[in-house]
Structures are given as C-alpha cells and as structure tokens.
Amino acid sequence: MSEIFEIVKKNGKKRLGVLKTAHGIVETPNLMFVATQASVKAMSAKDLFDWGIQFLITNTYHLYLRPGLEIIKNAGGVHKFMGWERTLFSDSGGFQIFSLSKLRKFKDNGVIFQSHIDGSYHEFTPENNVDMQRVLGTDVMMVLDECMEYPVTFEYAKHSVKRTLDWAKRAREQFLKTSPIYGYKQYQFGIIQGSIFENLREYCSKELQKVDFDGYAMGGVAIGESKDYIRKVIDMGDRIMPNDKPRYLMGVGEEDDIKYAVEKGFDLFDCVVPTRNARNGALFTEKGKILIKNAKYKNDFSPVEEGCNCHLCKNYTRAYLHHLFKSKEMLAGILATEHNINYYMRLMKKIRGSI
Amino acid sequence: MSEIFEIVKKNGKKRLGVLKTAHGIVETPNLMFVATQASVKAMSAKDLFDWGIQFLITNTYHLYLRPGLEIIKNAGGVHKFMGWERTLFSDSGGFQIFSLSKLRKFKDNGVIFQSHIDGSYHEFTPENNVDMQRVLGTDVMMVLDECMEYPVTFEYAKHSVKRTLDWAKRAREQFLKTSPIYGYKQYQFGIIQGSIFENLREYCSKELQKVDFDGYAMGGVAIGESKDYIRKVIDMGDRIMPNDKPRYLMGVGEEDDIKYAVEKGFDLFDCVVPTRNARNGALFTEKGKILIKNAKYKNDFSPVEEGCNCHLCKNYTRAYLHHLFKSKEMLAGILATEHNINYYMRLMKKIRGSI
C-alpha cells in the first residue's frame, strides 16, 4: 500500500492510477514537464496551471547553485518562489553533477563538484541533499544517486550500485529524522541504478525496497545507450519494481518509449523532449514530427496541426512560425513550446484513456 | 480635414483624438509597439489584441528581406500573416537602410543597399517602396525618406531634405496611381526631415503639405542627439505641422519625451523603449525604473509594481524575476515585456485622461 498512490485500474501490466500530494492529484500515467531552474523554459507557471498541467519537476543542483537555498527558503519554498500551485517533484541533482559540473570527486561522505556557473566547489551528501529538498519544499524528492555514464563495466556498475544503495539508506534516515519546513507532507522516492545489467538493477531494487520508499524510479536510462538497451531496462520494471508504489522512469520522453513503458507498467515520466524540441523547431503532431525551419513550410498557411486547440494552432500558420524561427524571434520558441506541451498533455490523456 | 483623424478635444496645444482605419480605432495620443519582423518581441499578437492594444508598427525593410514579399502576399498581407486584427503601420525602411544595412548608395532613382542578413544587394525607390507597402497591406504606410545621421552640416541636411522631398512627391504619385490589394483602404504619411535645423524642417513640412498626405511625421529624431535637441525639434511641431492631420513623432518613446511631445501637440509615437528595456531587465514603474538584475532584488518578494494588473505583477515576485534574468530563462524577457507594455498602455491612457 502506498500513502500517495492508488491504482484505479489495471489492464495487463498497464496501470491507471492517481498520485496524491499536498498540492493536488496527478492522474497517471503522466509526464512531468521540466522546470530545471524553477521555470519551464518559455512558459509561465500560471499558464501551465490554467492549461491543467498537474505536475512539474525541478532540480536541486540548479536551485542550490542559483538562486541558492536561502532565497528559496525566504520565498517559502519553490512552489511559492515560482508561483506553481500543483504537485512538484525535485530531482536530487545526481544526474546534473554527472552531466554538467566540471569536476566530480567521490568522498566517503558524498560527492564534491565544481559549479558549471562559476567553478566554485560544493559538496553534496545524501544527508545535506535531503535537507536541501526540505528547503525546496517539493512534494516528492528524489534521493541522491550516482549516475554512471554509458557504457560502464559490470565491475564499475556493481561498485556504483553499492554506493547508490549506501546513499539511499542514509538519505532515507535523514528524511525520517527531519520534518517538512512549510507545514505540508513531502515524500521520497528511491532510484534504481545498475546500468544495463539486469541482476544489478534487480539487486538494487530489492535493497531499496527494504529501505521502504514512497515510490521507485528507474534512473540512468536514456543517457546514450541504444533504444534496444533502453527497452531492455524498461522490460525489467514490472518484474523488479513493487506493484503498489508509483513507478517512475526518469528522463524518458520519446513518445514511443513512453507508450512502451506504460505497456510495461510504468506510471511517471519526465523529459525535456517536448520543450527542447520545441525551441529547436521540432513540433509533434499526430501525423509525425514537423521540422518547421524546413523551407517547405515557408509558404504553408495551414496550422501546425489541424484540430489542435493550442495557442499556436488556433492563431498562427506554419509559414508564420517558420518565419519566426528563421528571424530568431522569441515568439518562435514560445509558440512551439505551447504546442508541444499541449501535444504531450493530449498524448498522456490518450494513453490513460487506452487503459 | 482628415479622413482618418478627428480631434475630439484640445487643451492648450494638447490634442485628444481618434484615428480610424479599416482595422479599428486608435485613441490618441498613443504609442505603437514595434513588430519589426511581424512580431512584437516575445509577445503573441493574439495576447496584444486581448489586452486592448490598438495598433502596432512593422517594417518594410525587414519584411522585404525576410520572409519576402511573396510570402506576405500569399498570406493576404501582414495582418493575416502575423495574426494581428487591429491597425498596423509600416515604416518604409528608410531608417533601417541607414542604421542596419552594410552599404548605402544613392542613385538617381533611389537607394541601393546591402542586406544585413546575407549581404545581397537591393534597391528601394520611392515607387517600389509604395508597391511593397501595398503588398504589406498596412493601414498606414510611411514614405521612403533619407535618414541622416547626427550630426550633419547644414549643407548636407539641405541637400538631403531636397532628396526626401523629391522622394515624397514620387511616393505620393505612386500611392495615388495604385490601389490597395486586399480590399480595404490604406493611408500614407509624409516624413519631415531637416535634422536640428528649424528652417529646413519648416521648409520640408510646407513642401510636404503641398503634396497633401494623410498625416505627417517628424523623422530623424532621437538618433543620437542630446535631449535638448530632441526637445528643440519637438518644439517646432505645433508651429510647422498641420493642425487637422495626425502628427507622429517617430522613434521617440522615453516617458518624459512623450509627455513633453504631447504637451507640444503630437499624437502618435512608436518606440522599442518598452520592449527592449524589458528584455534587458529594465522595468518601468510609477516610482521609476527598476533594474531587476541588481542584487538588491534577489531577496525582494514584493511584486515589481504594487497594484499593477499585469501577468508578472499579479503572479510573480521581484526575486523570481531577478532569478529568471540571472538564469537567462526565456520567461524573464517574456514577463518583463508584458509588464512594460502594460505600463506604457497605462501611461498613454493617463496622458489621454489628462487632456
């Protein structure tokens, strides 16, 4: 049983569920748009709220470095800081330490890294990372994990999983020892690592379940490995992850992967795919991806997607959006992001409808 | 008498008026936000419409080069291309040829210039410039003029005014010889040049009045000269410009200059001041300009402007906007632009209320 998650319906491995936090409900399967620096790029939280977006995810690494936790605390948490009133997850920053920071050195206690902004040195430990996420006040926090690169040797992966597990235990202890700052409950998810090695992933999951988290995530996926390997890890999910807790596939956002993972019993997703593609001029439609900078759209006065109800498709043409991108107008990224967010909301709704 | 302009009330030199075009009315005095490339930077035309913005100005130089007139024609004019349903002015591009293009060479017929985008060569003549603005389908087009730099000698200015007048006559002839393409009426304004020389400006204005335009603009102002000289040219306006036609002070947008010019009998303004300042983090408030990137706003959880009804001030704090600017988030420029546009709408409304 899970305090925050209820499975409403099962169909094969597919699960229709509801995640409940102090800031509202999330119908699952569902995807979080990414507000790395307390902002979904080009979008106002108020608009996202009005469109019915149910949750977002922000990032401890980024917010810790800028604006800094003191500011977030003075604001009363990230929700208030960024004006977001619904459910908010936070990633621990483990992945960003691995992908962004200039130096990464493991110490007994945790990891020392250099800020990608100003080169200053910082230390994250499983414990201080929980404290940080208490300050963020996010509804669901992720534990600090080691994100391995891909590929790694089995030996390295084994060693790394040991560290991730040690950290997870310490993070849970810290979580249970501390209290929310802003008067509402927070939850904590464990992260299953193990690269593409099934026995490591299985071991990691089992050990994490002994710790007993509020939910479980599959981490270290879609970081450069082939689609086959992504699918291989997704395939493990239903077998190695608990049934009664939310299952979160981190960093996966391609439509086909999401659909595949829902089939295999995953509930939660997050990805920059919709927003980053938008800013690069790639728009998702039911008939496929439109690369709007392509010259063939120069003279195309139809909407990006017929029947789409978004601000872009209701008011502007492909030719206009093409022009905005070619002219490097800010409005290009704004309109495209609105569309892709709308597309993904529809996609997730359709996926839920199919269960 | 003017077909498109009516003075509703006079108070000293101040004029409260209404400008009427096929796309609606504009209460004057009023300021056009600038949609150089068929987009007010960071803003959707639909939103501007919903906020009650009454007119915008776009640019022949820019649209001619990109997306090109064929696209605009296929769209059915700039209004349709950019989804703007209210009044739209277009500048001839004279100023952009002077300020942006790599080369500028006067020929008997007009001016040859090199595109700032790809270095290609183009020729604008008074006649083809009118034809271009017929294709744009803007409600009010400006004649092609020579924008002198500042400072210039009297001799140069005299020579230049002669050219501007010659072009103005030819532009008017072309205008009267041609018809609108999209079934609604277009109007044409003349532009008074003469640098800071009052007798040249006066001569230019008199000669333009003989040509008989639908409105008159003071051009070549605020291009580097001191505030004193800007004021000096503004001071000439009431004396040398006709009473019964709209008077447009081009490129002026600082609040004190607008107020001064309204006192002196000007009706129309356009400027990138509100939008460009916004993107640079300068926000206008009734208590003065806020430079939001300043460290003192890092921890300031009040709205940018108390009592302001814009999206930014209703939903977000100074601390959050400061963070967005520091983090180079697109939302920074978007929210700031919304605020400054809102501020300028309020400003112009107050100015009208004071007449």
pLDDT tens sequence across A83-117: 999 999 999 999 999 888 778 899 879 999 999 99
> Of B311, B319, B330, which has the smallest distance from its Cβ to A41's Cβ?
B330
Full pLDDT tens readout for chain B, 355 residues: 689 999 999 999 999 999 999 999 999 999 999 999 999 999 999 999 999 999 999 999 999 999 999 999 999 999 999 999 999 999 999 999 988 877 889 987 999 999 999 999 999 999 999 999 999 999 999 999 999 999 999 999 999 999 999 999 999 999 999 999 999 999 999 999 999 999 999 999 999 999 999 999 999 999 999 999 999 999 999 999 999 999 999 999 999 999 999 999 999 999 999 999 999 999 999 999 999 999 999 999 999 999 999 999 999 999 999 999 999 999 999 999 999 999 999 999 999 999 9
Q: Which position has the token pair 């790694």?
A: A152
3-state secondary structure of A43: coil
How far is residue B143 from each of residues A289, B66, B73, B99, B121, measured CA to CA in Å? 43, 20, 20, 17, 21
Cβ of A41 and B81 within 8 Å? Answer: no
3-state secondary structure of B227: helix
Question: Which of B214, B257, B267, B270 is an active site residue?
Answer: B270
- The per-residue pLDDT for A219 is 97
- The per-residue pLDDT for A45 is 98
Rounded-to-integer distance, Cα B114 and Cα A178, Å? 66
Rounded-to-integer distance, Cα B282 and Cα A209, Å? 52
3-state secondary structure of B84: coil
Structural tokens at position A58: 């922000």
Structural tokens at position B316: 């977000």
Interface TM-score (ipTM) > 0.95: yes
What is the nearest CA distance from B326 to chain A, expressed in angstroms? 8
Determine contact, residues A131/A78, Cβ cutoff 8 Å. no
Q: Is A354 on the interface with B (CB under 8 A)?
A: no
> Of B70, B81, B298, which has the smallest distance from its Cβ to A67's Cβ?
B298
How far is residue B330 from each of residues A51, A63, B30, measured CA to CA in Å? 19, 17, 28
Determine contact, residues A77/A57, Cβ cutoff 8 Å. no
How far is residue B105 from each of residues A121, B92, B108, B114, B146, measured CA to CA in Å? 57, 17, 10, 9, 11
- The per-residue pLDDT for A1 is 65
- Look at chain A and count its residues: 355
Rounded-to-integer distance, Cα A346 and Cα B322, Å? 33
3-state secondary structure of B5: strand
**CATH number listed for the domain at residues B5-271:** 3.20.20.105
- Look at chain B and count its residues: 355
Determine contact, residues B321/B27, Cβ cutoff 8 Å. no
Interface mutation target, options A311, A327, A341, chain B, most CBs of B under 10 Å: A327
Interface mutation target, options B136, B331, B341, chain A, most CBs of A under 10 Å: B331
> Of B83, B326, B327, which has the smallest distance from its Cβ to A316's Cβ?
B83
Cβ of A323 and B45 within 8 Å? Answer: no
Radius of gyration of chain A (CA): 20
Cβ of B75 and A301 within 8 Å? Answer: yes
Q: Which position has the token pair 């000293």?
A: B12
End-to-end distance of chain A based on CA atoms, in angstroms?
21
> Of B46, B74, B331, which has the smallest distance from its Cβ to A311's Cβ?
B46
Q: Is A197 marked as binding a ligand?
A: no
Regarding pTM above 0.95, the answer is: yes
- Residues of chain B positioned with their CB less than 8 A from the CB of A74: 299, 301, 319
Cβ of A330 and B42 within 8 Å? Answer: yes
Closest residue, chain A, to B334 (C-alpha):
A42
What does DSSP assign to residue B295?
A: G
Full pLDDT tens readout for chain A, 355 residues: 689 999 999 999 999 999 999 999 999 999 999 999 999 999 999 999 999 999 999 999 999 999 999 999 999 999 999 999 999 999 999 999 988 877 889 987 999 999 999 999 999 999 999 999 999 999 999 999 999 999 999 999 999 999 999 999 999 999 999 999 999 999 999 999 999 999 999 999 999 999 999 999 999 999 999 999 999 999 999 999 999 999 999 999 999 999 999 999 999 999 999 999 999 999 999 999 999 999 999 999 999 999 999 999 999 999 999 999 999 999 999 999 999 999 999 999 999 999 9
Cβ of A327 and B66 within 8 Å? Answer: yes
Q: For CATH 3.20.20.105, list the domain ranges present in chain A.
A: 5-271
What is the nearest CA distance from A84 to chain B, expressed in angstroms? 10
Q: Is B310 on the interface with A (CB under 8 A)?
A: no
> Of A37, A46, A319, which has the smallest distance from its Cβ to B311's Cβ?
A46
- The per-residue pLDDT for B102 is 78
Rounded-to-integer distance, Cα B222 and Cα B254, Å? 10
- The per-residue pLDDT for B2 is 83
Cβ of B83 and A46 within 8 Å? Answer: no
Rounded-to-integer distance, Cα B297 and Cα B324, Å? 12
- Residues of chain A positioned with their CB less than 8 A from the CB of B301: 74-75
| A235 included as an active-site residue | no
Q: Is B75 on the interface with A (CB under 8 A)?
A: yes
Interface mutation target, options B62, B66, B327, chain A, most CBs of A under 10 Å: B327
Cβ of B81 and A42 within 8 Å? Answer: no
Which ranges in A26-142 belong to alpha helices (H)?
45-50, 60-65, 69-75, 78-82, 94-99, 126-136
Q: Helices A330-353 and A318-326 meet at what angle, rounded to 10? A: 130
Find the angle CA(A134)-CA(A139)-CA(A142) to the nearest 5 degrees: 70
Cβ of A317 and B39 within 8 Å? Answer: no
- The per-residue pLDDT for B136 is 98
A269: left (phi over 0), alpha (psi -120 to 50) or beta: beta
> Of A41, A70, A83, which has the smallest distance from its Cβ to B316's Cβ?
A83
Rounded-to-integer distance, Cα A157 and Cα A250, Å? 18
A138: number of Cβ within 10 Å = 26
Rounded to the nearest 10 degrees, how much is the dihedral formed by the CA atoms of B43, B45, B49, B51? -10
- Residues of chain B positioned with their CB less than 8 A from the CB of A66: 323, 326-327
Rounded-to-integer distance, Cα A215 and Cα A247, Å? 6
Phi, psi of B285 (to 5 degrees): -140, 165
- The per-residue pLDDT for B1 is 64
SS (H, E, C) A174-230: HHHHCCCCCCCCCEEEEEECCCCCHHHHHHHHHHHHHHCCCEEEECCCCCCCCHHHH
Radius of gyration of chain B (CA): 20
Rounded-to-integer distance, Cα B282 and Cα B19, Å? 31
Q: Is B82 on the interface with A (CB under 8 A)?
A: yes
B288: number of Cβ within 10 Å = 7
Q: Helix count (H) and strand count (E) of chain A?
A: 14, 16
Rounded-to-integer distance, Cα A108 and Cα A94, Å? 16
DSSP B31-58: EEEE-TTSS-TT--HHHHHHTT--EEEE
What is the nearest CA distance from B62 to chain A, expressed in angstroms? 10
Q: Is A147 marked as binding a ligand?
A: no
B334 closest CA partner among A7, A41, A301, A208: A41
Closest residue, chain B, to A85 (C-alpha):
B315
- The per-residue pLDDT for B100 is 87
| A91 included as an active-site residue | yes
